Amino acid sequence: MERLANINGNYNEFLHRFLTVEKDKSPQEILEVFRTTTPQLSPQDFLARLPGGGTAIQFFDDSPEKDQRKALCTFEFSDEFANKKQEEACGVYFSANCFEKYRRKDNLKLIRSLFLDWDCAKQGDAILQEEIDAQKVKMLRRLLLLEGTFLPHVIIDTPHGLHCLWLINEDCRSFKLPEWEAYQNNLVLYFGGDIGAKDVTRVLRLPPYAHLKDPEKPYPIRFLYHDLS
C-alpha cells in the first residue's frame, strides 16, 4: 500500500483499497473503512488548503423550525463559534467558491470549483440504511473508479448522500458565470445530483460538524476522500 501511495498518491491507494476490500465486505463496512482511514482534516486545515481564499462559512438552522434568525455568514472561521452554533442546532457549511464580504453572486471573487450535492434519499424517506449505504458505495465507485481522470478533490459523507468538490485550474477560473453555470448544470445532471443545488453561491457541509436535521440522531459529517496535498 505504501508503495502504491508513493507512486500515484491517494487515488491508487483508494482504488486498491476498493479492489481489495469490496469483495468480502458489506457497503456499511466499506464506508467505515473510508471514514476511519481517510485523514480527517481540521476545519482550519481544510479551509486553508482550498485555493483562492474568500471561503464563506455559513450557519443554517438544521432543526425543522428552520429559524432564519439563526442563519449567519462569516469569512472568519472560529471553531469555538461553530461549536456554539451547533449547540443552537445549526449546521456548518462552507462555500464552494470565493466571495468578498457577502456570499452573493455580485460579490463573487473567484470561481474555483465544480461541485455536487448528491442524495439517494431525503430526510424521513422510508428507505433502509443498508440501501443508502449501498447507493453511497456505488456512487463512490463511480466517482473514484469509473470516471477516469475526472477525480473529485473532496468527497464528504452526509446522512443521505455525498458532497463532492472538483477544484479547477486557472483556465477554467476565467469562465464567465453563464459558462460556468452550464458546466455545473451538466455535471449535476450527469451524476444525478440535486438539480436545485447548482448555484455559484452554494455551500457544502463542513466536516466534522454534525448534521442535525434529526435531533435524535446527529450525524457527524466526515471526509471520505480528499486530495488537497
Partner 1 sequence: MKLHTLDTIAKFKEAPAVAAKEGEKKKSEKLWKIGADGAAKGKRHPTATSLLGKMFQSLPKEMWGVPVWGALQAWNQKNEKPLDEKELQRIYESIKKKAEENPNAGQQTEDGSQADTLLELCTEESCILFHDQLGEPYAYFKTPKQWIVRRIGSNDFQNWLRRLFYEKTEKAIADTTLKSVAGLLTCKALYDGSEFHLYNRIAVQKGSIVYNIADESGQTVVIDKKGYNVTSLKEPLFRHYRHQRPQVSPASEGAISDLLPFVNLKGGNKDQELLLLVYTITCFIPDFPHVILVISGEKGSAKSTLLKLIRRIVDPAKPPLLGLSENADDLPQQLDHNYFAPYDNVSGFSRKISDRLCRASTGDGDTKRKLYSDDDDFVREYQRCVALNGINVCAKEPDLLERCLLIELERIPKDKRKTEKQLWVEFDTALPGILNGIFSVLSKAIGKYDTIEAPGRNRMADFEHWGCAIAQALGYSAQKFIEAYERNLGLQNQEAINESDVAIAIVALVELEEGFWEGTTTELREVLEKVAGEEKIDVKDRSWPKRANTLGKRIREVQSNLLDAGIQVETKHTNAGSVITLKRIANHPSSAVTEAIKATESEKSGDGDTNMSGVVPSPLSHDSSQEQAENKNVTDSDS
The residues binding partner 1 (CB under 8 A) are 4, 12, 15-16, 19, 49, 51, 114, 121-122, 124-128, 130-131, 134, 138, 141-142, 145-150, 153, 166-169, 171-172, 182-187, 189-190, 192, 195, 227-229
Least CB distance to partner 1 at residue 223 (A)? 14
Structural contact between residues 156 and 223, judged by C-beta atoms closer than 8 angstroms = yes
Least CB distance to partner 1 at residue 144 (A)? 11
| CA gap 170, 175 in Å, rounded | 9
- According to DSSP, the residues that pair with 203 across neighbouring strands are 95
Least CB distance to partner 1 at residue 29 (A)? 14
Residue number, 42 or 185, with CB nearest to partner 1: 185
Least CB distance to partner 1 at residue 52 (A)? 11
| CA gap 142, 35 in Å, rounded | 18
| CA gap 14, 33 in Å, rounded | 10
Residue number, 19 or 71, with CB nearest to partner 1: 19
Least CB distance to partner 1 at residue 194 (A)? 11
Least CB distance to partner 1 at residue 78 (A)? 26
Residue number, 9 or 220, with CB nearest to partner 1: 9
Residue number, 49 or 70, with CB nearest to partner 1: 49
Place of cell 436545485: 196
Residue number, 68 or 146, with CB nearest to partner 1: 146
Q: Which long-range contacts (CB under 8 A, 24 or more apart) does 145-154 make?
A: 145/15, 145/18, 151/11, 151/227, 152/116, 152/225, 153/113, 153/226, 153/227, 153/228, 154/223, 154/225, 154/226, 154/227, 154/228
Closest CA to 110 of 118, 101, 121, 99: 99
- According to DSSP, the residues that pair with 55 across neighbouring strands are 98
Residue number, 90 or 193, with CB nearest to partner 1: 193
CB atoms closer than 10 angstroms to residue 227: 14
| CA gap 191, 175 in Å, rounded | 22
